[in-house]
Amino acid sequence: MAVGNLRKMSVHLGEEVEYTLNLSSDVGMNELVGQEIQLEWLGKINCTNCGKVTKNSFGQGFCYTCFTTAPESAECILRPELCRAHLGEGRDPAWEERNHNQPHVVYLAASSAIKVGITRETQVPTRWIDQGASSAIRLAETPNRYQAGIVEVALKEFFTDKTHWQKMLKNDIDESIDLVEAKWELEEHLPGDIIDLFSENDDIIELNYPVLLYPEKVKSLSFDKTSTVRGKLAGIKGQYLIFDTGEVINIRKHTGYHVEIK
């Protein structure tokens, strides 16, 4: 049994992705796959930025004040092409310098389709795992978040930037996807200044998740509707717990919720 405020599960890439739920004690979630578990929301939500109790969670774990002021929830989190960290600007220039004015990677990830995304260099391959990708490849490497965003915008003409979460949880994978081919086909379509940022690293990272049974139909659960979630854990993919009933719960969505697991 462990108690605490939920944060996204920490991950480690091995032969199989290893998940840890960090509460009052670290819970190795892979060991629980195939077992009955219970998660109970204890009725409290704490802002992950300031720690205050909040009635509602905004932007995955913030109280409303922090949602509107914290750099972690700024517009450039979702739209990196608007980032101003390289100009020494932003909600908190010091935070922006440490986190956004740093090397970033533009990547292609495969699941039911090819998705384009960006992440800080230090978040490879964590970001790919959190999105439930089956495989991923580096596409471009940039000195900051803004330039990565510019590359991503150019690529949206060719690839989606959304994760189809239900298809991901059903393990609906397009086996015909060739990430290396898709990457270098772009040379014919993109301007030279973007091609110049392309990574020569064509290694494809394959991601295997601890799942015994993928659901045929997916039903999303929320602590806002039911305070107790229980059942046999059939697997974990992305930041979702998958139960053998086809029900799933997104741990990251409930960041800040005070829960007990047993």
Average confidence (pLDDT) per 10 residues, the chain, 262 residues: 95 96 96 97 96 93 96 95 96 96 97 94 97 97 97 92 91 94 93 94 97 96 95 98 97 97 94
The angle at the Cα of 207, spanning 197 to 101, to the nearest 5 degrees, equals 35
Q: Are residues 240 and 170 in the same domain?
A: no
The angle at the Cα of 12, spanning 107 to 214, to the nearest 5 degrees, equals 80
Q: Tokens in use for 73?
A: 């929830």
Q: Are residues 108 and 191 in the same domain?
A: yes
Q: Are residues 201 and 124 in the same domain?
A: yes
Instruction: Give the range of the structural domain holding residue 233, as residue numbers without chain letter.
Output: 2-61+211-261
256, 67 contact by CB (below 8 A): no
pLDDT on residue 41: 98
Q: Are residues 220 and 186 in the same domain?
A: no
Q: Are residues 137 and 202 in the same domain?
A: yes
pLDDT on residue 1: 84
- Of 206, 228, 247, the last residue of a domain is 206
Q: Are residues 108 and 177 in the same domain?
A: yes
Q: Are residues 178 and 129 in the same domain?
A: yes
Q: Are residues 179 and 240 in the same domain?
A: no
Q: Are residues 123 and 198 in the same domain?
A: yes
User: Could you tell me if residue 70 is inside a domain?
Assistant: no
User: Could you tell me if residue 249 is inside a domain?
Assistant: yes
pLDDT on residue 161: 84
CA distances from 104 to 7, 90, 113, 135 (A): 23, 18, 23, 19
* Cut 0.85: pTM above it: yes
**Number of structural domains the chain divides into:** 2
pLDDT on residue 258: 97
